């Protein structure tokens, strides 16, 4: 049975005493010919990651960041190996149809909303569905993303997540709420992050300066 540790710690601003450490860690990352995520998305993600790790919810030191502040026309998904301090992947990722056009602006946890949900997730098991090999997700934030499994929010491949689609449509394609990824790297992504790694979907409109008591 999955035990949820729900929290309202989306987009946490790290304590000032740790800002220098986080900044040093960030700048020491080996980008491996990719780009870096924004510092704000990274610090919020890694702060939450270590809290979840202490709770025993995260089993792998792999952190995936999706930055929905950014245009869907740029590569806004990063996979980072925290042990090796290296960016393993930086690629495109889709948001939900009703979350926005080029930019993600509206989010939901409700069934049939066709919207993306923000916050922290743990990755689950691999299965084969209508999009081929896919990865189940478990949301950890009550009222924000805890219906992810019920809604069928998973990582899967999609033809509309591609440079070609952007060229023809002026934006990336959109999903029914899932963080869909390019077909050519989907299997690689899923195998990198499966089985209890941390996924964080960021947007600055949900920023909070206060850490939740539930994860302190």
- CATH, residue 34: 2.40.440.10
What is the sign, positive or negative, of the torsion defined by CA atoms of 21, 81, 88, 120?
Answer: negative
The answer to whether position 11 is within a domain reads no
Residues 92-106: pLDDT tens digits? 999 999 999 999 999
The answer to whether position 4 is within a domain reads no
Backbone angles phi, psi at 214, to 5 degrees: -70, -15
Q: Residue 208 — very low, low, confident or very high, per pLDDT cuts 50/70/90?
A: very low
CA 125 to chain centre: 16
pLDDT of residue 190: 98
pLDDT of residue 117: 98
pLDDT of residue 18: 59
The answer to whether position 189 is within a domain reads yes
The range of the structural domain enclosing residue 128 comes to 16-205
The answer to whether position 146 is within a domain reads yes
Q: Residue 207 — very low, low, confident or very high, per pLDDT cuts 50/70/90?
A: low
Q: Residue 19 — very low, low, confident or very high, per pLDDT cuts 50/70/90?
A: low
**Per-residue pLDDT for 9 more than 70?**
no
The answer to whether position 174 is within a domain reads yes
**Per-residue pLDDT for 206 more than 90?**
no
The answer to whether position 8 is within a domain reads no
Q: Are 140 and 4 in contact (CB under 8 A)?
A: yes
User: Looking at residues 77-84, what average pLDDT do you find?
Assistant: 97
Q: Are 121 and 138 in contact (CB under 8 A)?
A: yes
| Least reliable range by pLDDT among 68-77, 122-131, 200-209 | 200-209
Provide the domain count of the chain: 1
pLDDT of residue 64: 98
The answer to whether position 78 is within a domain reads yes
The answer to whether position 49 is within a domain reads yes
Q: Are 169 and 155 in contact (CB under 8 A)?
A: no
User: Looking at residues 16-38, what average pLDDT do you find?
Assistant: 85
Query: What do you get for the CA distance between the two ends of the chain, in Å?
Result: 24
Q: Residue 50 — very low, low, confident or very high, per pLDDT cuts 50/70/90?
A: very high
Question: pTM (2 decimals)?
Answer: 0.89
**Per-residue pLDDT for 8 more than 90?**
no
């Amino acid at each position: 049975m999955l035990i949820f540790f729900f929290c309202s710690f989306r987009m946490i601003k790290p304590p000032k005493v740790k800002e220098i450490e986080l900044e040093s860690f960030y700048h020491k990352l080996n980008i491996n010919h990719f780009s870096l995520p924004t510092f704000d998305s990274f610090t919020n993600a890694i702060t939450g990651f270590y809290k979840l790790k202490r709770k025993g919810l995260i089993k792998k030191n792999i952190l995936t960041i999706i930055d929905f502040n950014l245009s869907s026309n740029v590569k806004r998904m990063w996979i980072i190996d925290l042990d090796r301090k290296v960016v393993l992947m930086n690629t495109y990722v889709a948001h939900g149809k009703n979350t926005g056009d080029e930019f993600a602006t509206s989010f939901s946890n409700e069934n049939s909303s066709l919207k993306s949900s923000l916050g922290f997730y743990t990755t689950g098991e691999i299965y084969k569905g209508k999009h081929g090999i896919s990865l189940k997700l478990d949301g950890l934030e009550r009222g924000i993303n805890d219906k992810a499994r019920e809604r069928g929010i998973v990582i899967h491949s999609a033809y509309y997540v591609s440079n070609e689609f952007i060229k023809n449509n002026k934006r990336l394609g959109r999903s029914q709420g899932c963080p869909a990824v390019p077909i050519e790297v989907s299997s690689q992504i899923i195998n990198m992050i499966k089985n209890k790694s941390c996924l964080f979907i960021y947007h600055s409109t949900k920023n909070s300066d206060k850490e939740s008591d539930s994860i302190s």
